[in-house]
A and B are shown apart, each in its own frame.
Chain A
Amino acid sequence: MLLAIEPTQIHDSLYAFLSILLEGAFFIFIGTVISGFIDAYLPPTLLDRLLPKNKALAVVVGGLLGAVFPVCECAIVPVIRRLVAKGLPLSVAITYMLAAPIINPVTMVSTFAAFSERGDAGVLVASSRALLAYGITVLVGLVMVRVALAAVLRPQIQAAISRAGAARDHDHDHDHDHGGATAGGKLVHALQVAQRDFTDVAMYFTVGVALTAFLNNVIPRDWIAPLAGNDVTAIPTLMVAAFILSLCSTSDAFVAASLDEFSYAAKLAFLIFGPMVDLKLIFLYSSIFKPRFVLILACVLFILTGVVCHQWGVFDHAAAR
């Protein structure tokens, strides 16, 4: 089981690295431009006004935001980073961040298409993927309601939240000249923020992609095949595979559908866990959250997804009889 790496595989890793980078650059760019405009144009009080006052209800709504504002997992991170800094409750932000790459129309259609193409029940897979992901993310969000910001967020994000909070509390009845609040000034600000967010996020993205590209090429897929026979091993195996492969949520279903030796429950675990936690996302999340929290979140999601998908598989078998 030792990894033997040939020199040409380094070239192959550079090739794979660039391919993921070329694919992801657009989505990160869009995410960071949105984040810049959020910062410049979204009043901090607006989120408070729009979201339900009840925190649990806000989390429930947060899990569905992806259906209205579809964003993939690369683009969501800079957006969330800025929304949290603007005062979006952490519990809602995390729910939206985890759910949006799965509960969005593009992902649901591609899941349906990938499984239908093979004569599988595309509607069932797409709907159960969305339903289970929604349940898991809302559950995590509800737990996050009770978690203190300081335990979770990087100090820079906490400082930004403090400033946003101060601005909300601040009496805006200033009598000095805010010439900078002109449309032009706001645009300059939005694009400066977008640039800074892009470089921050791209830095983490680059590290994550480099690791993904390397591992993707050197770890034999044959290793996972013997573990396919039993859900107890198959489900975690495919979740680890999803973590390493770091596929885009809009196309991962095509890979999952091809894993014929694995059960429906294991494929669901692959499709749910991957868009929430993968190697490149670990680095992207680290631009918002403390590393310890990222680790805990990844472990919790791993266990939760595994258990939920396993039970879903048991239920599905029982229903099929």
Chain B
Amino acid sequence: MGIAAMLVWAVVLLSFYVSGRVESYIRPEYLRTCTLLAGLGLLALSLFNLRHLRSSVSCGHDHHHDQDHGGCDHHHDHDHAHCDHDHGLDVHDHEDTSISGNGALLAIMVVPVLVSVFYSQDRFLSAATIRNKGFVQDTNAVAARVEKEINAAAPGTVSKSGEDGILEYTLADLEKVVQRSPEGNLMLTVDQLFYTAGDAELQRVLKGQAVEAVGQVIPDPDSGRKNRLRLFILMVSCCAADAQPVSIAVEFPGKPPEHKEMQWVKVSGTMVYNVENGQKQAVLKAAKMEPTKEPANDLLY
């Protein structure tokens, strides 16, 4: 039964790897390879033990003889030539520490895995789950990634000198690394827009600019405003279970257009920055919101 349970795990791991489903679950750079190695390892271990199943059951002598004879100095005279383990090292404990009964093993190790494989939608479905995870508040949480992406303009090539002689970050700098859509909107990601709330220079550059961003939407009851939604993407450290939503507020002139909770949307509008609850907030004053396809890389690693 143990071998069968391991085979199930091996098949699940390998099928997730081969189908690419694994990328919706864990950080792909190194854990994807770990999934492959674990799947192959478990498969090899299961098949190896399946092949050698008889070597453990054909060993019909008393497995507790060393307890019975512990410390004695007699000589064994039976033939262990058929027995594939080493008495001298006391590896005589075929089931010594095993605690999993067959039925329990199947119920606990296999059933939840198979149920999850068939019923998991490879993403979070509930806005309540997202809210429970708590929106990231600190813009430094995405600093390393975003600074690399949107502060990448070569200094001095586009920037102009400020009053103090230090190079200022300008819209031209930003346009060097951020594309505009056919409608003329700066195409930024949700984490980039979120980050700007903690960067005065970027706020100066982006304030009043036409931007667009893609993310999932959920209501924003905490804001106390009926014309607001939260646009978010999920940031993952290791696996989806540790995902945290990175979000910005999206504000409409009136009631938000029809949408489904957790729907992927593209929102375009103008950036403004408000101080709310003592904290600077990036707010996208939306002119348009339309459903869009879920991007291939829906999780931010």
Contacts and interface: CB of A to CB of B under 8 A. Distances in A.
A118 B92 CA distance: 53
A217 B79 contact: no
A171 B84 contact: no
Contacts of B69: 166, 170
A315 interface: no
Contacts of A11: 119-121, 125-126
Interface in A70-103: 81-82, 85
A188 B241 CA distance: 37
Interface size range on B against A: 35 or more
A129 B221 CA distance: 38
A163 B96 contact: yes
A33 B240 CA distance: 27
Interface stretch (A61-69, A133-141, A192-200, A306-314): A192-200
Contacts of A290: none
A105 B3 CA distance: 34
A104 interface: no
Tell me if A's interface is mostly helix, strand, loop or mixed. helix
A17 B120 CA distance: 9
Interface centre among B52, B95, B237 (most CB of A within 10 A): B237
A168 B121 CA distance: 54
A160 B79 contact: no
Interface stretch (B41-49, B166-174, B289-297): B41-49
Interface in B227-252: 237-242, 244
A188 B55 CA distance: 8
B86 interface: yes
Interface in A20-50: 20-23, 25-27, 29, 33, 39-44
Given A176-B77, A221-B134, 9 more contacts: A21-B113, A21-B116, A26-B37, A26-B38, A119-B140, A160-B96, A195-B49, A200-B97, A203-B104
24 contacts: A14-B119, A15-B124, A15-B240, A16-B241, A17-B112, A17-B120, A25-B13, A44-B89, A85-B96, A162-B70, A166-B66, A169-B71, A176-B76, A178-B86, A179-B81, A185-B86, A186-B86, A191-B48, A195-B2, A195-B46, A199-B100, A200-B98, A206-B112, A257-B141
List of 5 A-B pairs having minimum Cβ-Cβ separation, nearest first: A166-B70, A167-B90, A221-B134, A179-B81, A26-B34
